[in-house]
Each structure stands twice: as C-alpha cells, then as structure tokens.
Structure 1
Amino acid sequence: MNVPVLLVGNFLSASGGSRGVCEELALRLSASATKVLTTSNKPNKILRICDMLRTIFKVRHEYKVAQVDVYSGPAFIWAELTCALLRSLKKPYVLTLHGGNLPRFSKEWPKRVTKLLSFAEVVTTPSRYLLEQMIHYRGDLLLLPNALDLQRYECKIRDPAQPKLVWLRAFHEIYNPSLAVRVVRFLADKFPEVQLTMIGPDKGDGSLKQTQNQAYALGVADRITIAGGVPKEKVGEWLNRGDIFLNTTNVDNAPVSVIEAMACGLCVVSTNVGGLPYLLDDGYNSLLTPSNNAEAMALATRRILTNPALGRQLSKNGRTKAEQHDWSVVLPQWEALFQSIAKSRLSDHHHRDVFRSNENEALTPMTKRRSL
C-alpha cells in the first residue's frame, strides 16, 4: 500500500504561476494511487506560510510522511517554521533542496542550514551541482533529478537548425531575458530571417517591460514574439516552434525548462552558471557561454546555424539526456523513498513498544517482591 504524504511547497499554477516540480510530483503520486495532501496555493507569501502551518497541523492524522521544499532567501524561513512544527508533531519529513542561490545563502547562514538539514529523515537534491555544494552541511544527500513526462514532448531532430529561437522562463532579473534580445540583434544582419519566441509569465519586477523596451531600442521588436505564460501541457508545442533554445539565466540549478527543450530536440545554448555545467555537456548536448555575454551566445548560435552536423548532434544527444529524467524513471524512486521512511518509522515505534513491554515485564517481579 502506498504511503499517504503531505507535500509542502509552492502550488501556484492555479493563480497564474508556473507549475513547479512539487506540483508535478503531487500529480504523479496521485495518479499512482498515493494519497497526496498539498500546501500551499496562496499567492500572498504571508498567507502561504500561515496556510502551510495550518494544514500541517489540521491534517496531521492523514499523512505518514511530509516532503518540504527548501529555497534560499526569505523562503528559507518557511522551511524552518514548517519543519519545526513537523518535529513537534513527531512527523518524519524529507527536504528537497532547490535553487542556484542556495549554496551562497548557506555560506552566509551555515548554522541555520546545518540545523535544518540535520533533523530531516532524508535530504534530496535534483542536481549534482547542489549535491557537491551542499554536502558540507550534510554528508548523505540523495540525488533525485527533476522529472518530466516525455510523452508530452514531441521530438524533432533539428537537421538543419533554422534561425528560429525560443526562450522559456519567467520574466525576472535572475533569468536575464533581455540577453536574448541582444543575441537577436547580433544575429539579425547575418540571418535576416531570425525570430525569437519568448514564453513565460511576468514576475512583476520590471524585467518584461525592460525586455520590450530594449527590443524597440535595438530595432528588433518585429522579430520577437512574447507569448506570456502557457499551460504546462502546451509547453512542448510552443518549444517546437523553434529550433534553438536560449537559456540566458544568471543563476540556476537544474532547470526543467532546459530539460524540456532537450526533450523536444532543440539545440540548447546556455549560460555556464550554477548547476548548468553539471546538467549540460558543452559541445555534446549543448553549447555553453559566459553569463550576460550576448556576443558569445550569438556566436554559439551562429555555429549551430552554419554547421548542420553540430546542430544534429546537439539535438540527438539532448533528447538522450532528457530521457534520463522521465517520470517513469524518477517516480518509483520517490515512492520507494516515502515507503522506506514510513516503514523505518513504524519499525522504530515497534522496537520502542517491545522495549517498553519487556521493561514492564522486568519491573513486575520487582514490584511484587517489594509488596511482599
């Protein structure tokens, strides 16, 4: 029988946010007949943490194991608070580390991070990058990669790749969307048919407006289509409108968007930051360039457009890499982990009950002798 679980993270797709890894995990577990409880879908951050704490306590008799997402910055606080409550309720929990900024945050707050990680039954990480960076705070981290449903992504080997570029991320400064616009400007003279489709929600920090303004200032606005956020089930369709995927981020870990692009067979050109060189192999399934360097990214894109053999190789090898992240491979690992923790906790309770029973049996004769 599958173990009932509570997933604590950001479930914000219903309010316009993108569907994160935690939401995907909840859907997959539910589809496999696991009872899944989730929190929280509140857009407001204060209301979200309140809802997380309320749910953890309210449904405490309905789950055996909890899983908590851990991010850096202010979000780290809700991990600390929710885990403190879970410990007070004697509920075992798994922590899952996220975000390219977490190693930097951990160096600033090593005691907080070490304390949080030490109390978890298991700490998982979706990337070798975070595994290597965070192993100093707990030595037995478990690698469980981000996953996707390959059936959603039609693969087309790019042979040859055309100057149709795609960018997929939220419009936020850490993802540096305006870099993609500058890449188009560098390519426009040599490849007058170049087009860029940008997919993703506006996170409200001004990055979307800045990107639009730069497109007009550089004279390439007519070459750029901003699609906004799209439903998860439509991502593959939108990606396949292009041949080359630009990942312009300044900070990253193991982005699902890049894995999705590889699943579709797009040729990936990415900044060489954070966990990306752990996920991507330069010259084999991608081309990596320095961060915030439009000319270098444009030159890498040009290599693909002028060398069909290179584009074909990146396309095929990218798809092979993505196949390692299919839910059919990753989901059984999550199910086995939750079952192992629940079984271990049940075994601990059994041993304690046996100990108490034996202890009582040993004390009974003593009590009787005293009464005599």
Structure 2
Amino acid sequence: MVESSPIVCSASWFPPVTGGMATVANELAELFEGNGFRAVRLSYPTSKLSAPNYTLQSLLTVAKSNIVHLHVASKKAALWSLPPAVAAVILHKPFILHYHGGNANDLMNVAGGKMMLSRAAAIVTPSPAVKKQFEEKGYKPELIVNGLFTSKFPYKEKDFTVPQMLSARPLYPHYNTDVLIEATDILRQKYPATRLTIAGDGPESKRLKEKVTSLNLLGNVEFTGPVSPSKINELYANHNILLSAVKYDNRPVSFIEAQSSGAIVIAVNAWDKEAPIKNGITGILTQTAKPKEIADAVDRIISDNSKAARISIEARAESEAHDWGNIFPWWLVLYRKILDSDKRI
C-alpha cells in the first residue's frame, strides 16, 4: 500500500492541444496534484516522427509511477496509449483506461484495444450508453461523468432574439459540421443576422470553408481555428446556442461548458434514453442530423424567448452537478481502491 505522495502517470494530449479530452486530462492532473499525489504528464505525440523517443519516454515515466491513467478518445489516441499500457503490463503497474469516445467498438477494434481493456485495473467512461456497450462485451466499466470548474464558465443571461450559434468540435467527417452550415443557410432566410462560429480545426477545414463560400455565407459563418481552453469561455459568453450534429457521441465537455455559461445545447439524440440533456428542459434534442430539423429546433428557441430563458436557467443548474467539487471525489475513491489493492506497491 502506498503511504504518501503516489505518482500518477497521466497519458494524454494536453493544452495547448485543444479538445475535451485534453482539458479533462489536464484538470484531473491538477486536482490530483492538489490532493496528495504527484502527477507526471506523458504527452501523446502530435507527429509520428516522435514515436521512437516517445516509446522510451513512456517506459521511463511508467517505471517511476505508482498508477497510470490512460486517456483515449479516438483511434489515434488509442494507438499512442499503447506504449505506456505495454510498459505498465511489463512493469506490473496498474493502469486506468479512461475512454472519452462515443463508440466503444472503436476502441475494441483498434490494434491493442482488447489487450488494454482486459489488462486495465479499471475502465472508465463518462457515458452511460458507452458503459452499456462495454458491458455487452463482457467488460465491467466504471461510470464517472465529465467534470469542469463552473467558476471558469460563469452564467450570462442571453439575448435570444437572433441565432448566435457555436460549434466547438474538431473538423472531422463524423462531426457533421457541414450539416450545421446548411442549417445556418436555412436560418438566415428568416434571421439575416444569423451567425455560426466554428471553433476547431481538422482535415475537413478546407472543404467546409469552400462550402461556406459556395453558399454565400461568408457574412454568417466564421472559422476561428483552434481555441485554447483559456479562451473558449469567451466564445460561450458571446453565443446563445451550441450546436452538435454528431450521430453517436459520449457526454461532451463542451455541452457542460455551454450549459454553465447559459447557452442552450441543440444536439442530435445520439444516446436514445441516456441523453446527457433533458429534451425541452436542459436543452433540445433532434431525432436526425438533417439541416432542416436542426434549423427548426433553433427557430423554436428564438421564437419563444421565455422558454429559451427557462431552458438556459435549468441547464446552468444541471451543469453545477458536474463541477469538479462533486465529481473529483469519485476519482479519489477509485485511485485509492486500486492503489490499496495493488500488493506490488
């Protein structure tokens, strides 16, 4: 049993890399550092050229750690998590597989995925739907929802007279950002001042910008590129709606951040009965990712300011349950359980 100052190897991308996983990984490391642990950040490479050095770095970092926390949200992250996972197995160090993705099959089908799942001391997901997917394959995951510092995203009463919309997901095909652009094209017919800000970057960037130009939406759609975690709160403060057209998803940090800030989340129902927002109460869910359905959902919000205000207030209350002050204790319990049961330490 570890007596004091156990060392955590936290493996992930970290800021300035953007995205929910990087933010959660960094904030969790900070919280552990403030609660009797020493956190060592093992950053996943952003280039294959770093692979040889990274493999050695993984081995050395895991060797001096008491517990390893692997963050995975995509196939690429799963591949980069493999070296520290293998090092943990070789060196007999317990590791947590923290899966941030929206489809468990993506992890189970990637090289090394099943090995990591079978050897992990704990599998954690923030999504009840993903937890169920793992359970159907015989795994026993833990459910710990995403957290945030609500103080970083203060509530701001919004003006819901014109759609001021935000997309805060990377520009990859499965995020369906083109659907949001087409919905904006529909909305501007009724609301000429409609605005969509696309905060993110990725391989779809060039094609999406060309689409905006072809639809003559340059006055309605803005691409910001990557936005650092320290600046994203400004975007939430200046927009009244967060849009998502993803057909399968986890419980995105961006949803909680938007709700904390007073923006209304409008998203495709990618979760069936396990949706992270209550339709018509803490946000709006559409049944499909069709531009017309998303545009109609936005129109209903803008057309009923009193309902919009109620949803905004309820969403803020919901976000407060996700404050790290409420969520982090669950991580402490899990870490201590793993460390206390690991007879090798």
State the TM-score, normalized to the length of structure 1.
Answer: 0.83
Partner Cα separation in structure 2 for residue 238 and residue 74 of structure 1: 28
Partner Cα separation in structure 2 for residue 10 and residue 94 of structure 1: 16
Say which structure is richer in helix: 1
Note the C-alpha offset of 1:47: 2.4
Alignment correspondent of 2:12: 9
Partner Cα separation in structure 2 for residue 191 and residue 113 of structure 1: 47
Note the C-alpha offset of 1:114: 4.8
CA contact (8 A) 1:161 1:304 kept: no
Give 3-state SS (helix, strand or coil) of 2:259's partner: helix
Which amino acid in structure 1 is aligned with residue 308 of structure 2? G
CA contact (8 A) 2:182 2:291 kept: yes
Which amino acid in structure 2 is aligned with residue 148 of structure 1? L
Alignment correspondent of 1:36: 39
Listed one character per residue, the Cα deviations across residues 213-238 of structure 1 (whole Å, up to 9, x for unaligned) are 22222222111222222221221111
Alignment correspondent of 2:148: 148
Alignment correspondent of 1:93: 95
Partner Cα separation in structure 2 for residue 278 and residue 210 of structure 1: 30
Alignment correspondent of 2:290: 293
Q: How many residues align?
A: 340
Residue 70 (structure 2) pairs with residue 68 (structure 1): yes
Q: CA 1:337/1:43 → structure 2, altered by over 3 Å: closer, same or farther?
A: same
Note the C-alpha offset of 1:82: 3.0
> Of 240, 264, 273, which residue of structure 1 is paired with 2:270?
273
Which amino acid in structure 2 is aligned with residue 92 of structure 1? P
Give 3-state SS (helix, strand or coil) of 2:213's partner: helix
CA contact (8 A) 1:64 1:92 kept: yes
Alignment correspondent of 1:24: 27
Percent of residue pairs identical: 24
Alignment correspondent of 1:355: none
Which amino acid in structure 2 is aligned with residue 58 of structure 1? L
Q: CA 1:277/1:213 → structure 2, altered by over 3 Å: closer, same or farther?
A: farther
The runs of 5 or more residues in structure 2 that have no matched partner are none
CA contact (8 A) 1:95 1:122 kept: yes
Q: CA 1:321/1:161 → structure 2, altered by over 3 Å: closer, same or farther?
A: farther
Partner Cα separation in structure 2 for residue 177 and residue 215 of structure 1: 11
Alignment correspondent of 2:279: 282
CA contact (8 A) 2:187 2:299 kept: yes
Q: CA 1:316/1:24 → structure 2, altered by over 3 Å: closer, same or farther?
A: same
Give 3-state SS (helix, strand or coil) of 2:301's partner: helix
Q: CA 1:159/1:74 → structure 2, altered by over 3 Å: closer, same or farther?
A: closer
Listed one character per residue, the Cα deviations across residues 330-371 of structure 1 (whole Å, up to 9, x for unaligned) are 2222223222211221xx359xxxxxxxxxxxxxxxxxxxxx
The runs of 5 or more residues in structure 1 that have no matched partner are 351-372
Note the C-alpha offset of 1:255: 1.1
State the TM-score, normalized to the length of structure 2.
Answer: 0.89
Task: Within 5 Å, give how 1:1-372 maps onto structure 2.
Answer: 1-11=4-14, 13-14=15-16, 16-18=17-19, 19-45=22-48, 47-48=50-51, 50-71=52-73, 73-103=75-105, 106=108, 113-158=113-158, 160=160, 162-200=162-200, 202-203=201-202, 205=203, 207-274=204-271, 277-345=274-342, 348-349=343-344
Partner Cα separation in structure 1 for residue 114 and residue 234 of structure 2: 42
CA contact (8 A) 1:42 1:51 kept: no
Give 3-state SS (helix, strand or coil) of 2:275's partner: helix
Alignment correspondent of 1:354: none
Higher Cα Rg, which structure: 1
